[in-house]
Amino acid sequence: MNFLKVLVFAVATSLQLSAWSQVAERNIAEIKQESLARAQRGAYPLGGLDPADVAQALDAIQTTGRDEWATGWSRVAERYMEQGRTAGSAPQAAAAYKKAWRLFYFAQWPVPNSPGKKVAYDRAVQAYMKYAESMDPPMELVKIPFEGQTITGYLRFPKQATGPVPMILAISGLDSRKETVADSYEQILAKGVGFLAVDGPGTGQAPIKVSASAERMFSVVLDYLYQHPRVDRSRIIVSGVSFGGYWAAKLAITERARLLGSVAQSPPVDEFFSERFLREGTMGNREYLFDLAPAFINVFEGANTVDDLARLMPGMSLKSQGLLTKPTVPMLVVTGAKDTQVPISDIELLMRSGDVPKESWINPSGGHLGREARGWTDPVIFSKVIIPWELRLIEQSRQSK
């Protein structure tokens, strides 16, 4: 089976429009029910969480209060932090810290927009760093100077690599973090490829928030990779998930001279940034667990309300910025035909733009990022679609030398 088969777009405009009807946010009972169901099937954003831990955390949460949410999950996470501290072996400690990291991450989900969630995010990073102590090959915490601040990233190279190695610049999405994309890309190390994982603007430890010029942050990251003696600067691929896919798509144009390729999962391009889609597709979106609009408010520079988003988002459109008529690097665009978070029209527009043929993997039964409840889950899409495409592009580059 060819996992990179380009699938035919099969969603009628009328069906797309019907999916945009605004609905109310889930109440706490619905959030709890859906969270447990997702945990039981390993679905985002609860992949890797033990359903028993999820049930315990949810029992302590009775309202949609953000600090109450953070407290419920953090109490369970702290138990694993203690297990890590008292573990009898390094592998046992690593396993406990990894569980703590995932629980603290969900305690701050989707974004740390309350005092309790901010504490939970800090604890998530601390737990991840303790877990990272066991990584082989090791992880390097890098600090890249940027406009008087710092870009923080996780750098890993393949074990026993000789000479400069190809690299993935992995960018997180709206509610994922550099820790989650680093976890997704760990498997590529065995293929002789390294990665540098960074938070997208407005998320995690990123030094700036989202704006129409925030990609300048990634240009500085590319400067760092270009200067690193272990990096093969001719084979750098950028990869972004969801809102990170926007940056991957933009960099495919603006950093064309320095990139070998780009992978964009469900990238917002144009219509996504319209006020109409904001109010009819983003607010109350139920493919998203909860708080999609508040999450965007949190990451945008100058945004405090939905009305602020309606004013700021149109300027993010790659079409309005005049970029879609410009050359691009080779791209893989991944999405699902039933994605309600990013309109399929944005994917179609991106595929028709530029001067280089692009490849697409579109799951007819998939939602955001192409994922399904079972089958084509996030880990499967990474291992069966994204990473094979990247390895193929790297190998083609080698053969063309």
Residue 68, domain member (yes or no): no
DSSP annotation of 167 reads E
Residue 65 within a domain: no
Q: Where are the beta strands (DSSP E) in 222-284?
A: 231-241, 261-265
Helix-, strand-, coil-residue percentages of the chain, each rounded to 5: 50, 15, 40
Query: Under a CB-based contact definition with an 8 Å cutoff, are residues 369 and 336 in contact?
Result: yes
The pLDDT assigned to 82 comes to 98
In-domain check, residue 336: yes
CA distances, 174 to each of 48, 110, 201, 265, 341 (Å): 19, 8, 9, 12, 12
**In b/e form, how buried is each residue of 225-257, taking b as 16+ CB within 10 angstroms?**
beebeebbeebbbbbbbbbbbbbbbbbbbbbbe
Q: What is the pLDDT of residues 178-190, one digit of tens each?
A: 999 999 999 999 9
pLDDT value for 328: 96
* Interval 1-36: pLDDT, tens: 343 433 333 333 333 433 444 568 899 999 999 999
**Does 352 fall in a domain?**
yes
DSSP conformational letter for 341:
S
Domain-embedded: residue 202 = yes
Contact 153, 127 (CB under 8 A): no
CB-CB contact of 192 with 165 (8 Å): yes
Nearest residue to 247 via CA among 217, 280, 289: 217
pLDDT at position 162: 81
Integer-rounded Cα Rg, in Å, for the chain is 20
Which pair of structure tokens corresponds to residue 344? Answer: 């399929």
- 253-300 residue pLDDT tens: 999 999 999 999 999 999 999 999 999 999 989 999 999 999 999 999
Q: Crossing angle, helix 51-59 and helix 28-41, to 10 degrees?
A: 170
Predicted TM-score (pTM) of this structure: 0.93
Positions in the chain short of pLDDT 50: 1-21
Residue 72 included in any domain: no
Domain at 174, CATH number = 3.40.50.1820
Domain contains 125: no
Using DSSP's 3-state secondary structure scheme, residue 335 falls into strand
Q: Within a 10 A sphere around the Cβ of 222, how many other Cβ atoms?
A: 19
Structural domain of residue 304, as residue ranges?
A: 13-27+139-400
Joined tokens for residue 5: 């088969």
Give the number of domains in the chain. 1
The reported pLDDT for the residue numbered 12 is 32
The burial of 299, by beta-carbon neighbours within 10 Å (0-12 exposed, 13-18 middle, 19 or more buried), is given as buried
Domain assignment present for 63: no
CA distance 245 to 247: 5
Q: Which two tokens stand for residue 108?
A: 């701050």
pLDDT at 298: 97
Alpha helices in 115-208 (DSSP H): 115-132, 178-185
